[in-house]
Structure formats: C-alpha cells, structure tokens
Structure 1
C-alpha cells in the first residue's frame, strides 16, 4: 500500500504525543482524524485548558474529536465512517475493542519503555527511579489488556547517570517519532512480524504504575543512591519532595537536582546543615545529600545559593 493512500487516525494527549503526529504529517501520510481528551480546567484560575495534541491538530486544520466516553456509539460510528487503515496511539486512554478493531491493518501504541518491562502509566519515571542504564520505546498492537499486545518494533537508548526524567522524556520522544514512522512503513508494506511479549528467563519484571503524591516523598532513612534516583526520576515532574521544618513551621520543599556523598556520621537522618552560601545538605542513613535546585512551598524554582541567601534562619532546620 502506498503511504499516501494510508488513512490514519491518531490518538494522543500530552506534549510527548505531538512529535509523532508532527512526524507523520511531515512524512506525507494522510491523517483523517485526531482524537484527544476533552478540555478541562487547570491552574489557579481553573480556565479550560486544551491538550498539546489538540493545539497542534488545530494548527494543521486536522479533523478533531474529543469524546467524553470512548464507548459512545455516535463517536464509534464517526470513526467507522473515516474508514481508517490504522489507528496510532501515543499517551492516550484505554480503548474498547469496538474501536481498536476498526482499522484494517490494526491499532498500535507507542510506549515509552522496552516492553514487557514497565507496563503502566509512568515508565520514564520508574526506569530512572530503579537506576536502569537503558530504556527505549516500543510499538505494539493493542489488545484487550494494558500494554500486553504483540510487539512490532523497538528502539533503545542509554540512560546516563546525569539524566533525569525530563532528559529521558526528550530522548524517547526523539526516537519514538521515528519508530512510529518505521512502524507505519512496515504495516503498509506488510514486512513486520509481530512478536509476543516474553520476558527473558531470570530477568525480574518491573511495573510502572501511576504515581501519587505519597510516592514522591523522600525517606531520608533510605540509601542515598535510592534517594538520588528518586529525585532525578521525578524531576521535573511530579517532583520529589520533603517537609522542611523552619522555625517550627513545616513547608513542602521540592527537590529537582542534587548529588550525594557516602560518609559516616552520627547525625539524625533529616538533619539540615548549611555551610557558607552554596552548600545545603541533608543527612541520610549513609551520608549526605547536597541540594542544587529546589522550590519551597509558595516560592519559585531556584538555585540553592539563592535559597540560602533568602533564609533568615539557617540553624536547627529539619527535613522529614
């Protein structure tokens, strides 16, 4: 099948999903419809916010759908009338069989991990939180379970020690958009051989569930390596945090960047030590964590030196 004859319906929501859609358009494919989430209130003013995919679709004058319920018969009928050859999904909702079974060539998803590892909503975060040295993206056919369908293609990338979730997000976005194009080419030419998801013998399975606020709180009695991986795995979003006790008042302190030093000490975990104008360290079980970029509740994100300069009380601070 000629790629210009391939009719594509694209489904996605966040910024991560914009790059593959843009690449599909640039590559000359026909996108007959784009599906994204309904607008929802956001921010302090609770103004109605549009998804990143919607904004891009409107800028390209693409036919847009924002169904409230995916099983809405009218919406399903609209998709059927579009007569898509393939549906491409990137960071979207769970689809019912009535939808993913519509296209002639199938419905495939781009997932930000090397499946079967890290099925779930937060694969980028958990890969770094677990200290992995490698990640990647996978395209796979949708089935009636979550992230379990047959694998079409995969691409790998290194996770450097300096990478945080934001950096890995951008790496995977770059290789992901190319993998989507390769998958479309393979489907249109009939050259792909779908493979069942199989975990290698002796390899531990890792899952990536949705993150909640309690998952982001730092436990200072944990090993420093684990604390560091948590911080970089949650930066810049949703961000690891601790409660900082300042003059008897507890405030949330988000930590975006830092480094650690293994060192024996006799301090209670969570004890804060400020040295000069640039060093703000917190005692953990096996050493100290040095903060680099933070955001105190009610303040903007800043370098630690600016935070120290703004503190009126620099003694008897405690993190917990």
Structure 2
C-alpha cells in the first residue's frame, strides 16, 4: 500500500508546507479538516485561514466542524474511509476522531519529544535557551504529545534566531519530514516509546503572565525570553510612571555592568540600555502602546533625560 488515502487536519500558516506536500504527492488527499471561520479585526470580518484559502484555490474538499465531537462530522469522516489522518498545528482531537482511520492518526510536533510537550514549543525552545530543536512525528493517543514516535529531525538554534526565523526553519522542513514519516509508516519502521522523563521542559500556552519580562532575571535569560516571543506575541513590560505597555523586540547582551535597579533605563554612547540582575541589556527595537516600532536611540530622544523604570 504505497498510495494512501489521507485526511489532513490543520489551520494556520505552519500547516501549509505539509498540506502542499500531500496535495502534490502520489497519496490521495481526500479531504482537509480546518477550524471554523472566525471574525477578526476592527470590522469583525471573517478572514479565511491559510489552509482554507489553499483548499479553495486548489478545489480541495474542506470540512470545518464547530465541534469535533459532533456525530454528523464524525460520520462524514468515517464515510471518507481514509487510511491515515495527518495533523499539523491543530487542536486536540478526541479519541472518537483519531481512532477512525485503520492506520491511525499522526501528528507533526515542532520539538524533539518528549521535550517541549505543549502548545508553544518553538517559542519555549528559545525562551529556555536551547541550542537545538526539531520536528517529531508520532501516533496520537489519549494524552497530549505522548504517543509512539515515528521519526525525529534536528535543527540547530543560533544565538541570533528569534521566533520568526526558527518558525520558518521548521516550517520549510515540514513537507519533506512528512514525506519521510509516511514512508516509514508504509515500511513499518519500529516505533519509539516515549519514556516518562521527569526532568523535561514543557511548552505551555502563552499568556499575559508568562510573556511579561522579569527585569530581575539575568541578561541572558531576558534576551532569550524576548527573542522567543519576537515578533509574536511580543515580550512586554510597562513604564512604571504611567503604566504604558511596552513591547521589546530586539536586544543585545552588553559588557557593561549594571548601574541601577532592575528595570531602570540607562544611556551609554547614545544607545539605550536597561538594567537586569547582572548587567546592562541594550534595547535596539521597542514599541510603546499605541505607537509604531522605534529604535532604542529614538526612544532616548523622546524621554529627554527623564528617569524611566520598566517593571
């Protein structure tokens, strides 16, 4: 059985390369499942996802269930008689769905499992300061990111990588990685059981609290935190004097020792720095609430010598 009947599950841009591979492969892409349309923007207009746009452009059958536990939706899936489900950047599937195809359901996860199980593995690989990450393919089971592993592939993380650059590296690898994964399944490659390792880094969903910058941390940890959230969703802080939100996009670790309390700004050689627990961190790009992204030295001109503390 070299030509499989496959249903693909995905919604965001990260899913596109794997979807394109399936669409152009010898396998039969019989349908795509994507999230229901949502209204967004000031006018609350419906904006189609990248996956839906691709399906429309290429006349691919598309299902958009409001509820994955809907019996009618599950019956529609059963009637497709797929050999395999491929899931990339999609919500958690109930057993009633992932257990339908005879060969099972596989997921492509953007980390080297079991490390970085969770919703935001790319962000957290940078926040933790890892020097490598990758993609893992595995069969779905009843828990999150715990199923038997099919394949892994690694990519190195450079000191200058941020979320966007690492995201693009992994996205570009995903199509060929899925190809190798399906080949391994067809050839009945031996699977790797995930061990219950206690000391692994997790990748929880990003929220207001875990994206906030803690200035009493080390300059290296703060640097990693910021690049792991750049450009989206953005590492944020507030100006103590007026509670205005500030997103920091780009920093450099300096050789200057700290010269004030954590979070206080400092100017050296016409450049903007902020105090951390150990040294000064240079701020190259930032955005104040309601304004455009600016360079650090432009912010110096706007504060006109005032003492500013971020917290």
Match of 2:254 in 1: 261
Aligned pair in 2 of structure 1 residues 115, 269: CA closer, same or farther (>3 Å)? same
Deviation readout 1:140-169 (Å, 9 max, x if unpaired): 000111100000011000011111111111
Determine which of 306, 310, 316 is the counterpart of 2:307.
316
Would the aligned equivalents of 2:259 and 2:275 in 1 still touch at CA under 8 Å?
A: no
Would the aligned equivalents of 1:38 and 1:50 in 2 still touch at CA under 8 Å?
A: no
CA distance in 1, matches of 2:139, 2:58: 27
What is the CA distance between 1:314 and its match in structure 2? Answer: 3.5
What is the CA distance between 1:306 and its match in structure 2? Answer: 4.0
Would the aligned equivalents of 2:257 and 2:280 in 1 still touch at CA under 8 Å?
A: no
Aligned pair in 2 of structure 1 residues 204, 262: CA closer, same or farther (>3 Å)? farther
SS of 2:209's equivalent in the other structure is helix
Determine whether 1:59 maps to 2:57.
yes
Determine whether 1:116 maps to 2:114.
yes
Aligned pair in 2 of structure 1 residues 59, 315: CA closer, same or farther (>3 Å)? same
What is the CA distance between 1:186 and its match in structure 2? Answer: 2.4
Deviation readout 1:88-138 (Å, 9 max, x if unpaired): 000101111111111121100000000011110011111111110010000
Matched length:
311
CA distance in 2, matches of 1:92, 1:314: 49
Would the aligned equivalents of 2:30 and 2:80 in 1 still touch at CA under 8 Å?
A: yes
- Name the stretch that deviates more: 86-95 or 268-277: 268-277
RMSD: 1.7
CA distance in 2, matches of 1:238, 1:58: 29
Match of 2:214 in 1: 219
Determine whether 1:209 maps to 2:207.
no
Determine which of 262, 282, 301 is the counterpart of 2:293.
301
Would the aligned equivalents of 1:10 and 1:89 in 2 still touch at CA under 8 Å?
A: yes
TM-score after normalising by structure 2: 0.95
Long gaps (5+) in structure 1:
none
